[in-house]
Structures are given as C-alpha cells and as structure tokens.
Structure 1
C-alpha cells in the first residue's frame, strides 16, 4: 500500500493545521520528513500539540510543522 505524501498546511483564519483536506487535532500523529544537516531528511513519527505560542511537535523545539512533508503513520 502506497501512502500519500503531502505538505502540512495552515489556515490562519481558523488557526488550524491541515493535511489532505482535513484538520489536524491535538495529539494526532503523522510521519513527517524532518530536515537534517546533510540537506536531506528522515521520516519520524510525531504528534501535534497547541499552546499559547501556536502549533508545535513535542520533542522538536523550534521546528514549525507548517510546510513539512507528511504521511499517515503505519500502525504496527
């Protein structure tokens, strides 16, 4: 089964992250392609949370989820 790979969007008027036409909610997980220092990236399972500073991914301080490539996580 091939998984969709799409960018995470942001709708400022609703303050929502989006992916594949649906809203991302707190605690939801996706695999995202996180950039590395070699100009490539690594797929990592992350979740999304929201606080007074906006949307973030726990364990990845300073990395905005907006614009990252994401795919549905495979559940084992």
Structure 2
C-alpha cells in the first residue's frame, strides 16, 4: 500500500469548495494559517505536498493532479 502524502495549504489561499475536495483526498491534509510562502500565496493557487511546492492555474487543477475528483472551476 503506498504511503499517504502530506498536503498542506494556507487557509486564505484555498476557497471553501476546493478545501472540501482536498479534505476528501486519501492523503493527510492540513490547513494552516500561514505556510510562509506569501509571494506565492498572493499570486497563485498552491499546495505543499511532502514539503514540495505545487502551483497551478487554479485549485481544480491542483486537486486533479493530486488524484482528487474534479469539481467546479475556481
């Protein structure tokens, strides 16, 4: 069985509908107040997976790349 990834995201960067999709992933997800990536947070949708920054054009793309179900576009 593959190990669970650790997915972290800033509470201000991820809208509610994307947050609910992230929480349904089979991975460990953590919402944090701040991930100390302010420049990225202000400019792009992002998550941090096992310590690696992942940036996308929108949160739907990010969740899909993590294997989550597609949702409505952000």
**Fold agreement, TM-score > 0.5:** no
Q: Could you say which structure has the larger radius of gyration?
A: 1
| Structure in which a larger fraction of residues adopt helix | 2
| Structure in which a larger fraction of residues adopt strand | 1
Structure 1 length-normalised TM: 0.30
